[in-house]
Structure 1
Amino acid sequence: MADKRIKVTLIKSPIGRVARHRACVRGLGLRRVNHSVEVADTPENRGMINKVADMLAVEEV
């Protein structure tokens, strides 16, 4: 069975944010504003996405 994927795009800068939020952005593999990555739809990734949801755009792939 193929695993589900989520496309995550960083739309706001993590500069000036709490260190834990910056760590979530880096943990998702995002490096700069408007950078997009595809990550697996796991509870761990969903938790990081929910923590910094105001900085991200999320699409189902």
Structure 2
Amino acid sequence: MAIKPKLKVKQLRSGIGRTEAMRRTLKGLGLRGPHTEVVVANTPAFRGAIKKVIHLVSVEEIDG
């Protein structure tokens, strides 16, 4: 079985002044503030959430 890649997501900008939906999306990804990082599975659900806040985060693909 092949190792599935994961995504390392780092929050670069604050959620202050953003819509409630964006703040909830950041929280759903597990990000708690600028410069926090999380590793999530590379699934359509996570990719969609990242797409909603792509201007606030950086994304890097890593090996699982």
Q: How does the TM-score come out when normalised to structure 1?
A: 0.94
Alignment RMSD (CA, Å): 0.8
Aligned to 2:9: 8
37-46 or 1-10: which moved more?
Answer: 1-10
Gaps of 5+ in 1: none
Percent sequence identity over aligned pairs = 41
Distance (Å, rounded) in 2 between the aligned partners of 1:3 and 1:27: 21
Q: Does 1:54 align with 2:40?
A: no
Gaps of 5+ in 2: none
Distance (Å, rounded) in 2 between the aligned partners of 1:28 and 1:35: 11
Aligned to 2:18: 17
Name the aligned partner's letter for residue 16 of structure 1: G
Bigger helix fraction: 1
Q: Does 1:41 align with 2:42?
A: yes
Paired residues, what number? 61
Name the aligned partner's letter for residue 26 of structure 2: V
Q: How does the TM-score come out when normalised to structure 2?
A: 0.90
Name the aligned partner's letter for residue 6 of structure 2: R
